[in-house]
Amino acid sequence: MDRTENATQEPSKEQPATQLDGKTLLLFSDDMDKAFAAFVIANGAAAMDSPVTMFFAFWGLNILRKPASSKGKDLLSKMFGFMMPRGPSQLKLSRMNMMGMGSAMMKYVMRKKKVMFLPELIASAKEQGVRIVACSMSMDVMGIRKDELIDGVQIGGVGTFLAAAEKSNMTLFI
């Protein structure tokens, strides 16, 4: 039997056919360009009716932060909060940031070219039903509370990420 014949046969009982069409993205970077790429991919996949889960861990949590105060936090949590960017508008480029000039230039060019920037991409992803999950362990380690995150974010552990990845035909680590 040649390959063409084998390809048209029904799947055997040992290997049942499964329809994996989800996309899972794990963001553990808060670099502007990486966050931008992740949300472009997530929006594109959602527009193609693919279920999308974005899991944010460690530095990636900064993408989801509101510009909030640090009331009621211990000293270490306050220090972490002070040193980290609060939300997508404060992120820096991974390369050529040049003390913020690179980020400002990138935002200027994107605005001039009418490219959606991170806040709009995040809103679009939420509108399209992209599941946004913040890592509970990372939140605990970095002293980030749920009320410091944008609305619509779910909290989950590694099991949440693994369950989504199991149903996906693509998993990206960014």
Give the CA count within 13 Å in the CB-facing half-sphere of 82.
8
For residue 83, the model assigns a pLDDT of 65
For residue 11, the model assigns a pLDDT of 45
Structural domains in the chain, CATH included, are 22-173 (3.40.1260.10)
Q: Enumerate residue ranges in the chain where pLDDT < 50.
A: 1-13, 15, 17
For residue 12, the model assigns a pLDDT of 45
User: Are the CB atoms for 62 and 81 separated by under 8 Å?
Assistant: no
For residue 20, the model assigns a pLDDT of 85
Q: What is the DSSP letter of 84?
A: S
For residue 37, the model assigns a pLDDT of 95
Residues present in the chain in total? 174
Distance CA 57, CA 54 (A): 10
